[in-house]
C-alpha cells in the first residue's frame, strides 16, 4: 500500500488553514497526479478546540486527520509538536505554515511591527527549523516521497504590487502586515535555495482575499464585499501540495491560477 503523505497545517482550527485541511481530506488517490491518501495534523493553539473540529470533519479515500497543539511563538509548543509527529508518523512530508495575524488596531507602529513579525515571520521560521529533521526523513520502506514547505503569505507582501495602482489593495495601508508578508516571501525564497538539493520544494502562496476572521474581520461582510469562500484558498493550496504549481517556483502563487511578482 502507498505510504500516506504526512501533512501539518499551522493555524488550522479556522479560516484558510481549516479550508486547506478540508480540501486535503476530500482528495482522492485515484487521480494519479496527487499525493493522497493524507494524514493531516490540524494545528491549533487550543488543543481541545482542534480535537473537536477534527472529530467533526468528514474524511474519505483513506485520508485521516488528528489535532495537534501548536502555538508558533512558543519553542516548547513547537518542539512538543515535533516530538508528537516523530512518535506517531516518523516523518513529515508537507509543512504548511499558515498561522498568521493582522492586528491593525494596535496603535503603536513599533509594537505592531514587533508583534506581527514575532508571529508571521519568526513563528513560521521557528516551525520550519524545528521540523527540518522530520522533513528530511523518508519513509522506512517503499518509494521516496516528495517533500514540501508552503508559506501562506499574501499579495500584500508583493513589493512589486505596492507600486501598482491597479492592484486591488493599492489604496490600503497595512504597512506592518505587508512588511511581514514580504519577509515571509523572502524566507520562502531562502528556503527554496537552502533545500534545493535536499528534495524539498518550497512555495510562497497567496490565498486570495478570503472571507475569514483575519484582523477581526466579519466573514459575511467580507463575502458581500467580494471576498472568496476560504474553500477556494484551500483547493488552490491543495494544487500546490499535489504538484500542479511546480513550474511556478519563483513567484508568489495565488488562487485562480494567478501569480504575483515577489
Question: Cell for 250?
Answer: 519563483
213 lines the binding site for ligand NAP (CB under 6 A): yes
| Burial annotation 68-98 (CB, 10 A radius, 16+ → b, else e) | bbbbbeeeebbebbbebbeeebebbbbbbbb
Q: Which stretch binds ligand NAP (CB under 6 A): 5-13, 58-66, 159-167, 252-260?
A: 5-13
CB of 1 to ligand NAP, least distance (A): 32
CB of 164 to ligand NAP, least distance (A): 17
**Site map 143..182 versus ligand NAP, x via CB under 6 A:** ---------x-x----------------------------
Instruction: For ligand NAP, give the closer residue by CB, 16 or 185.
Output: 16
Instruction: For ligand NAP, give the closer residue by CB, 6 or 20.
Output: 20
Question: Angle 14-262-203 (CA atoms, 0-180°, nearest 5)?
Answer: 50
CB of 82 to ligand NAP, least distance (A): 15
* C-alpha 228 chain-centroid distance: 17
Pick one of 29, 45, 186, 262: the residue that binds ligand NAP (CB under 6 A).
Answer: 45
**Are the C-beta atoms of 38 and 238 separated by less than 8 Å?**
no
Residue 144, number of CB atoms within 10 A of its CB: 9
CA distance 167 to 155: 9
Residues between 104 and 133 with contacts to ligand NAP, criterion CB under 6 A: 119, 123
Q: How many binding residues for ligand NAP (CB under 6 A)? A: 28
**Are the C-beta atoms of 152 and 119 separated by less than 8 Å?**
no
Residues between 54 and 93 with contacts to ligand NAP, criterion CB under 6 A: 70-73
**Are the C-beta atoms of 166 and 243 separated by less than 8 Å?**
no
Helix (H) or strand (E) holding 41: strand 38-44
Whether the bond into 202 is cis, omega within 30 of 0:
no
Which residue reads 517533500 in cell numbers? 147
Q: Which stretch binds ligand NAP (CB under 6 A): 61-69, 86-94, 108-116, 211-219?
A: 211-219
Instruction: For ligand NAP, give the closer residue by CB, 45 or 244.
Output: 45
Residues that bind ligand NAP (CB under 6 A): 10-11, 13-17, 45-46, 70-73, 98-101, 119, 123, 152, 154, 206-207, 209-210, 212-214
Amino acid at each position: 500500500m502507498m505510504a500516506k503523505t504526512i501533512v501539518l497545517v499551522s493555524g488550522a482550527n479556522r479560516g484558510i488553514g481549516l479550508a486547506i485541511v478540508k480540501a486535503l481530506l476530500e482528495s482522492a488517490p485515484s487521480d494519479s497526479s496527487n499525493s493522497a491518501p493524507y494524514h493531516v495534523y490540524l494545528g491549533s493553539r487550543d488543543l481541545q478546540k482542534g480535537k473537536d473540529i477534527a472529530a467533526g470533519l468528514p474524511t474519505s479515500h483513506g485520508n485521516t486527520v488528528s489535532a495537534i497543539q501548536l502555538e508558533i511563538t512558543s519553542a516548547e509548543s513547537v518542539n512538543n509538536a515535533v516530538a508528537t509527529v516523530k512518535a506517531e508518523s516518523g516523518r513529515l512530508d508537507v509543512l504548511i505554515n499558515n498561522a498568521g495575524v493582522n492586528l491593525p488596531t494596535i496603535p503603536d507602529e513599533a509594537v505592531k511591527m514587533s508583534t506581527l513579525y514575532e508571529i508571521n515571520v519568526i513563528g513560521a521560521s521557528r516551525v520550519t527549523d524545528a521540523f527540518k529533521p522530520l522533513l528530511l526523513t523518508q519513509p522506512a520502506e517503499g518509494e521516496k516521497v516528495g517533500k514540501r514547505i508552503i508559506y501562506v503569505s499574501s499579495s500584500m507582501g508583493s513589493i512589486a504590487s505596492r507600486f501598482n495602482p491597479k492592484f486591488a489593495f493599492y489604496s490600503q495601508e497595512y504597512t506592518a502586515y505587508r512588511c511581514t508578508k514580504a519577509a515571509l516571501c523572502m524566507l520562502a525564497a531562502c528556503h527554496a535555495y537552502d533545500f534545493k538539493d535536499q528534495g524539498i520544494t518550497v512555495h510562497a502562496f497567496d490565498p486570495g482575499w478570503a472571507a475569514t476572521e483575519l484582523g477581526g474581520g466579519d466573514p459575511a461582510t467580507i463575502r458581500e464585499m467580494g471576498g472568496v469562500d476560504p474553500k477556494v484558498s484551500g483547493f488552490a493550496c491543495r494544487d500546490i501540495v499535489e504538484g500542479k504549481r511546480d513550474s511556478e517556483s519563483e513567484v508568489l502563487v495565488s488562487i485562480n491560477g494567478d501569480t504575483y511578482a515577489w
